[in-house]
Structure 1
Amino acid sequence: MLIETLKSLFDRDLTKLKLEIESYQNETQIWAIDKNISNSAGNLCLHLIGNINTYIGAEIGKTGYIRNRELEFSLKDIAKTELIQKIENTISVVNTALDKLIPADLEAIYPLVVFEKEMTTGFFLVHLSTHLAYHLGQINYHRRLLA
């Protein structure tokens, strides 16, 4: 049950992320920052893609993805079409990885220590979903603020 719920939430929110990036009328605004806005929508998008591909793709799906977290916040001016393609690829990675899980996997300890203590895979996947939703809200606000 939880696996299907997580798949549904990740699909919903990653699809919404794609829609948010597509909705920027002026592509340069994706990368806009201000004195009170330190992360652009583009960098938050790259961060979410890196985060999900690391913790779901590489660890659960065994994709071989290697993260460069610093680039998630330093890269600029990536084309909107490239960001959208990265989101679409991430949706596929999540679905493939979560399809491999069985309910007992959610009770197992997640293979990496992320927050300085062990946690179950189920707990961490719920955390990743809320992390996605948190930054998705920031991106939505960023887009509407600049529109």
Structure 2
Amino acid sequence: MIAESLKSLFTRDLNKLKTEIESYQNEETIWKTDKNILNSAGNLCLHLVGNLNHFIGAQLGNSGYIRNRDLEFSLKNIPRAELIQQIESTIEVINSSLGNLSAEDMEKEYPLEALGYKMTTEYFLIHLLGHLEYHLGQINYHRRLLDVE
């Protein structure tokens, strides 16, 4: 079933996100920007957990999560341990929310037109996985470029 595959892939990539955040030698660098690097790894991490908690947790899992997207990009210097806790909580929300979806639910129209058009839940979940992977790659490059002694 596609929901099980998506649960596995989201869990895999959120664990990679956790590893990236843990891999910074200097915790302050998580929040660094430089020249054409406009978003810090910390803000991208907050953006990813906010995005997934909103579009999967709140919309599909009825978690009650309220998103403040502006804060995802404006908050600074959140301790690494708190970012890791948010990632771990997001994994739980993803697994709980997707675990309750049937194959029929995946074929239903997603409740929001988040991309500006109607789409199935399955389609949007695949989009969200791609979004996670895109920013995960940015965080990896951020760490390798800026986390130097």
What displacement does 1:78 show? 0.3
What displacement does 1:35 show? 1.5
**What corresponds to 1:50 in structure 2?**
50
Listed as ranges, the gaps of 5+ residues in structure 1 are none
**What corresponds to 2:105 in structure 1?**
105
Provide the aligned length of Structure 1 versus Structure 2.
147
TM-score, length basis structure 1: 0.98
SS at match of 1:113: coil
Q: Distance in 2 between matches of 1:77 and 1:87?
A: 16
In the alignment, is residue 38 of structure 1 matched against residue 33 of structure 2?
Answer: no
SS at match of 1:59: helix
What displacement does 1:36 show? 0.7
**What corresponds to 1:80 in structure 2?**
80
- Give 1:1-147 correspondences, 5 Å limit: 1-146=1-146, 147=148
Q: Which of structure 1's runs of 4+ aligned residues deviate more than 3 A?
A: none
What displacement does 1:5 show? 1.1
Q: CA RMSD in A?
A: 0.6
What displacement does 1:113 show? 1.1
CA shift digits 1:35-93 (9 cap, x unpaired):
21000000000000000000000011100000000000000000000000000000000
CA shift digits 1:11-33 (9 cap, x unpaired):
00000000000011100000000
Q: Distance in 2 between matches of 1:94 and 1:27?
A: 27
TM-score, length basis structure 2: 0.97
Please tell me the residue identity of whatever aligns with 1:97: S
Q: Distance in 2 between matches of 1:61 and 1:25?
A: 36
Please tell me the residue identity of whatever aligns with 2:27: E
Q: Distance in 2 between matches of 1:100 and 1:145?
A: 40
Please tell me the residue identity of whatever aligns with 1:93: V
Q: Distance in 2 between matches of 1:11 and 1:81?
A: 18
Listed as ranges, the gaps of 5+ residues in structure 2 are none
